[in-house]
Amino acid sequence: MTDIPRPGQPVRGSRSGAPIMALFDLIGRRWAMGVLWTLAEIGPSTFRHLQEKCETISPAVLNQRLKELKAAGLVHRVEQGYAVTQLGKDLYLHLVPLGQVAKVWAENLAEEPLHS
């Protein structure tokens, strides 16, 4: 059920399981990046607290994503509940610059509204 994409195994985008494609397969799931991002931002927290911070995520999906992120070693359990691992933090830090891209993107769309 919980099927985690593994580098070296066939994944979306690469029959040979290229690491980047395996990673895309993992974090390219609904809420995956949002959960990682949020957890990294708020620090160690309980399931419910994280759920609140994600604003509209359902417990079922949060639980699913947490399972996957845990299995992938990006998140782990701590006394306080859940937290990102070192690897998870590394990934988060690489996601941070996307915040700037997102802003530029938002501005672009504001100027020139999407036509579809």
Which stretches of the chain bind DNA, using CB under 7 A? Answer: 1, 3, 12, 29-31, 46-49, 56-61, 63-64, 66, 81-82
Closest contact distance (angstroms) between CB of 33 and a copy of itself is 4
Closest contact distance (angstroms) between CB of 47 and a copy of itself is 17
Distance CA 58, CA 93 (A): 26
Closest contact distance (angstroms) between CB of 16 and DNA is 16
Residue with tokens 């040979």: 16
Count CB-CB contacts under 10 A for residue 38: 19
Q: Which does 7 bind (CB under 5 to 8 A by kind): a copy of itself, DNA, none?
A: a copy of itself
Let me know: does 77 contact 71? Beta carbons within 8 Å.
no
Kind plus residue range of the DSSP H or E element containing 107:
helix 98-111
Q: Which does 97 bind (CB under 5 to 8 A by kind): a copy of itself, DNA, none?
A: a copy of itself
